[in-house]
Structure 1
Amino acid sequence: MGSVSTPNGWEQTTLGELIEIIMGQAPPGSDCNKVGTGTIFVKAGEFDAERPIVREWTTQPLKYAAHGDVLICVVGATAGKINLGIDCAIGRSVAALRPCNALEQHYLYYFLSSKVLTLRGDSTGSAQGVISKDDLSQIAFPLAPLPEQHRIVAKIEELFSELDKGIENLKTAQAQLKVYRQALLKHAFEGKLTAQWRAENQDKLETADALLKRIQQERAQRYQQQLTDWQTNGGSKPKAPKPLPPLTAAELAELPELPEGWVYVRAEEIAGFITKGTTPSKELLFDGRGEVPFIKVYNLTKTGFLDFSIDPTFVSSETHNGFLARSKVYPGDVLMNIVGPPLGKISIVPNTYPEWNINQAIAIFRSDVISNRLLAAYLAHEKTVRSMMRKSKATAGQFNLTLEICRETLIPLCGQDEQKELELLIEAKLSEVEQLDQTLTTSLQQSEALRQSILKKAFSGQLVPQDPHDEPASALLARIKAERAEIGNNAASPRRTKKVSA
């Protein structure tokens, strides 16, 4: 085990010397139910923050855990996760660790909680991690005198209680920031954020009629440019934009009232290009590096930032200019996921690459009438997302936005000068929100680091003082070994560890 600094009265041993290990076994699926018949049945999926959630039972229990055990996930992505025991049957993804009387249950629980990442990293298996019975038996374990174990557990729980209160406050603050962000966007797109600017800059305001006329002119100019491009490059002739009917009184009645000079417009009136991406076959996608970056939904965020550091995928230039030509995107384009949950992930394409491509779960909004930052902010507004969801197709809990929904989304629009001011105000205030959120996130990370620091001190003898009057752990181990020798250790089947007196 190597050289280990051991506090006075402690002993370094292995877990197998102190516990009985019961590896779970799954009963037939036909003998399981969710109506409360039989014995509670726990698998890895039932593990919760401290004790398992009860949601399944079995009439043919094969392996049992007890309330005084510590449960550990031993198979899969959650291998190493720890829960306190309950009286139940356990499946093959769970093992029950049953301590002898020389080992306090919560002392074992907190020790293993400090080793989750180590246990997970040491797990083996071709498709998924597996922690074996031998792996568990051989875990090096710092055994403190039993009275000190109780003192350590009490101190850990005292410190964790204070830490949890702080974490709860941090999470409450994060939730309040989200509410503030949405309130800010609501005020921004109801014209309240720029009310003072309008009062001080009457000469820079456009009337609603002038704004609508300019939008129609720019829409016609975009079509003329598309015709010119078609005549030069060939391909399919672009369709002339259809005249859009004015908003009805019923539609306007459901919308917040706008200040003078603002108008509601459909997205397709100000975004000349709204379409969605295409997903090629897997053999056309390359992980990590390539010629043209290919954006997936997990690269989108709710802050406008595109995070291409997450599993970056690429396609070849040939695929980009051929099969995927219709879903090219460029720096400044606004992207929105149209398959969820969650909906409302919005990102602006950065200039890291001159051209990008996207999959079929993402829509493109390209506008020269509204600032891309304002467009992204409005599409990310919860009110906008909820409105789209109400019109979407929902299947088995999944929401799918059609391009028609995207194009018909109503957007509040103001004149160009006011847009510039609005963008500055939104960015300044959202920047403050992001900085505060980052501070809270850092504090939460530090809280988790502090939790691990507390556990490290606890199991190195630094959390509470040693008491020379405590019976040393060596005496506990000697008594365990003597009693095991007395009863023999040649049983063919697992049995409960004989309790020893403390």
Structure 2
Amino acid sequence: MYNYIPLEQAADILDSYRKPVNSKERLNLIKGKPLDELFPYYGATGQVGWIDSFLTDGEYILLGEDGAPFLNPYAEKAYIIYGKTWVNNHAHILRSKTNNEFLCYYLNYFNYKNYVSGTTRLKLTQAQMRKIPIPNIPSDEQSRVVAHIEELFSELDKVVGTLKTTKEQLEVYRQAVLKDAFSDFEKKDSIRNLTVVVTSGSRGWAKYYSNSGALFVRIGNLTHSGIDIDFRDIQHITPPDNAEGVRTRLQPNDVLVSITADLGSIGFVSEKVEEAYINQHIALVRFQNPVQGRFMAWYLRSEYGQKDLLKNKRGGGKLGLGLDDIRDTPVPIVDDITATEIVDKVEEQLSVCDSIEKTVDTALAQADAMRQSILKQAFEE
């Protein structure tokens, strides 16, 4: 069983080295300067940019002060930086008196529940941080613990790397399926001539937010990996009883397109969706022939559809699509029987892919749990 000492005895606390500089000021400082003349600028959870000078030079541990995922046992709250760097005021700067790696691993294992304050943005004050109990063991024992952790983490990283490669290969396979399905369509027409509605939501929906009621689909509920709407983080609303509520209410077989931020994400409204609405960042595309809505959604999700859909994207730093850009996008002319056959074949092939991906995601989650288990074993001996 370990003996413990407060962190203020186990490490030098060097918060006086840190200094915040907002992003606008940093952009002005680095404008026109080559990357090899700049230095990393760090915050609570990692590097957040670059700057033209440095305040620290060496090896230090950064522990989040605010904005770090303190209550997520699988997420990092501390990390090590090296060389010439600049740290803002969202991270504490520490230097272990014995072993930085040991202290950093321990700080990522530690339960901060009784040490942080706040609700939406948790904060670890310096006063509370100083009290964190740190195992007080000889430096050679700390080195042994670190070596054991890193050996196990190295093996785990190999497995995680293989799993991530598998996910990348699945995405390549998805695109290959779609490319094969939609490669033979030469006859096309614009969405403008095949739809009855192309519209988007308006601003001001926040006042209708509620804990239950109708569904409110936002960009985060659309994906680039499929066309089904992700309802895991769905907002609910009490819809307005006016023209806006009627205009932006979704109907089965509507196709949704993100028109700001993550451009080109596609969604499809199935028969299962009861009452749902969209905000100003999503366009609703309602085809004259609703039977082909799902076919059109898959086409727009494909390499061909994405190329035509996004060729007219506009803007500088913040890209967007106008409704006329969507209306002018060409899509295949196809009969209902062919459309249904293609959708059935695509979804049969992709269902296998989805099943594999779920297995991979489960394994990745288990890897995160295993990482924490390794730390637990190391620090609860």
State the TM-score, normalized to the length of structure 1: 0.65
User: In 1, Cα distance between the equivalents of 2:219 and 2:199?
Assistant: 15
Which residues in structure 2 correspond to 1:253-332 (within 5 Å)? Answer: 258=185, 263-280=187-204, 282-283=206-207, 285-290=208-213, 292-302=214-224, 303-319=226-242, 322-332=243-253
Q: Deviation per CA, 1:431-458, whole angstroms, max 9, x where unpaired?
A: 1111111111111111111111111111
- Whether the 8 Å CA contact 1:37–1:57 is kept in 2: the answer is no
- Out of 49, 56, 59, the position equivalent to 2:51 is 56
- Out of 76, 86, 93, the position equivalent to 2:67 is 76
User: In 2, Cα distance between the equivalents of 1:143 and 1:443?
Assistant: 35
User: In 2, Cα distance between the equivalents of 1:37 and 1:384?
Assistant: 40
Q: Quick one: structure 1 residues 177 and 139, their matched pair in 2 at CA, closer, same or farther if it must change by over 3 Å?
A: same
Q: Deviation per CA, 1:343-362, whole angstroms, max 9, x where unpaired?
A: 22212224455432212221
Letter of the structure 2 residue corresponding to residue 108 of structure 1: L
- Whether the 8 Å CA contact 2:38–2:50 is kept in 1: the answer is no
User: In 1, Cα distance between the equivalents of 2:290 and 2:187?
Assistant: 13
User: In 1, Cα distance between the equivalents of 2:273 and 2:332?
Assistant: 31
Q: Deviation per CA, 1:377-403, whole angstroms, max 9, x where unpaired?
A: 11111332232222121232x222122
Letter of the structure 2 residue corresponding to residue 420 of structure 1: T
Q: Quick one: structure 1 residues 406 and 90, their matched pair in 2 at CA, closer, same or farther if it must change by over 3 Å?
A: closer
Q: Deviation per CA, 1:197-231, whole angstroms, max 9, x where unpaired?
A: xxxxxxxxxxxxxxxxxxxxxxxxxxxxxxxxxxx
- Out of 1, 4, 23, the position equivalent to 1:12 is 4
Q: Quick one: structure 1 residues 90 and 295, their matched pair in 2 at CA, closer, same or farther if it must change by over 3 Å?
A: closer
User: In 1, Cα distance between the equivalents of 2:193 and 2:241?
Assistant: 33
Aligned residues: 366
Which residues in structure 2 correspond to 1:59-458 (within 5 Å)? Answer: 61=55, 65=56, 67-77=58-68, 81-87=77-83, 88=85, 90-100=87-97, 103-115=98-110, 118-119=111-112, 122-125=115-118, 128-191=121-184, 258=185, 263-280=187-204, 282-283=206-207, 285-290=208-213, 292-302=214-224, 303-319=226-242, 322-340=243-261, 342-352=262-272, 354-367=274-287, 368=289, 370-396=291-317, 398-458=318-378
Q: Quick one: structure 1 residues 37 and 264, their matched pair in 2 at CA, closer, same or farther if it must change by over 3 Å?
A: closer
SS of residue in 1 equivalent to 2:257: strand
Letter of the structure 2 residue corresponding to residue 304 of structure 1: I
User: In 1, Cα distance between the equivalents of 2:190 and 2:52?
Assistant: 54
User: In 2, Cα distance between the equivalents of 1:353 and 1:153?
Assistant: 51
Q: Quick one: structure 1 residues 375 and 120, their matched pair in 2 at CA, closer, same or farther if it must change by over 3 Å?
A: farther
User: In 2, Cα distance between the equivalents of 1:447 and 1:165?
Assistant: 11
- Whether the 8 Å CA contact 1:338–1:362 is kept in 2: the answer is yes
- Alignment-derived partner of residue 479 in structure 1: none
Q: Deviation per CA, 1:44-90, whole angstroms, max 9, x where unpaired?
A: 06x54xxx58822448x5xxx56343221213356773121435454
- Whether the 8 Å CA contact 2:308–2:330 is kept in 1: the answer is no
Q: Quick one: structure 1 residues 121 and 166, their matched pair in 2 at CA, closer, same or farther if it must change by over 3 Å?
A: farther
Structure 1 unpaired stretches of 5+ = 1-5, 192-257, 462-502
Q: Quick one: structure 1 residues 371 and 89, their matched pair in 2 at CA, closer, same or farther if it must change by over 3 Å?
A: closer
User: In 1, Cα distance between the equivalents of 2:337 and 2:119?
Assistant: 61
Moved more, 297-306 or 366-375: 366-375
User: In 2, Cα distance between the equivalents of 1:317 and 1:53?
Assistant: 40
User: In 1, Cα distance between the equivalents of 2:120 and 2:280?
Assistant: 29
What RMSD over aligned residues (CA atoms) do the two structures have, in Å? 3.1
Shift of 1:188: 0.2
- Whether the 8 Å CA contact 1:120–1:129 is kept in 2: the answer is no
- Alignment-derived partner of residue 73 in structure 2: none
Would you identify which runs of 4 or more consecutive aligned residues in structure 1 move more than 6 Å? 27-32, 36-39
| Percent identity between the two aligned chains | 27
Q: Deviation per CA, 1:133-189, whole angstroms, max 9, x where unpaired?
A: 222221122233332221111121112112112211111111111111111101101
Moved more, 86-95 or 33-42: 33-42
Q: Deviation per CA, 1:406-439, whole angstroms, max 9, x where unpaired?
A: 1222112333222222121111001111111111
User: In 1, Cα distance between the equivalents of 2:364 and 2:310?
Assistant: 32
Shift of 1:265: 2.3
SS of residue in 2 equivalent to 1:439: helix
Shift of 1:15: 2.0
Q: Quick one: structure 1 residues 297 and 166, their matched pair in 2 at CA, closer, same or farther if it must change by over 3 Å?
A: same
SS of residue in 2 equivalent to 1:399: coil
Structure 2 unpaired stretches of 5+ = 71-75
User: In 2, Cα distance between the equivalents of 1:433 and 1:424?
Assistant: 14
SS of residue in 2 equivalent to 1:70: strand
- Whether the 8 Å CA contact 2:210–2:236 is kept in 1: the answer is yes
Q: Quick one: structure 1 residues 53 and 130, their matched pair in 2 at CA, closer, same or farther if it must change by over 3 Å?
A: closer
Q: Quick one: structure 1 residues 281 and 443, their matched pair in 2 at CA, closer, same or farther if it must change by over 3 Å?
A: closer
Larger-Rg structure:
1
Which residues in structure 2 correspond to 1:455-466 (within 5 Å)? Answer: 455-461=375-381
User: In 1, Cα distance between the equivalents of 2:231 and 2:108?
Assistant: 33
SS of residue in 2 equivalent to 1:395: coil
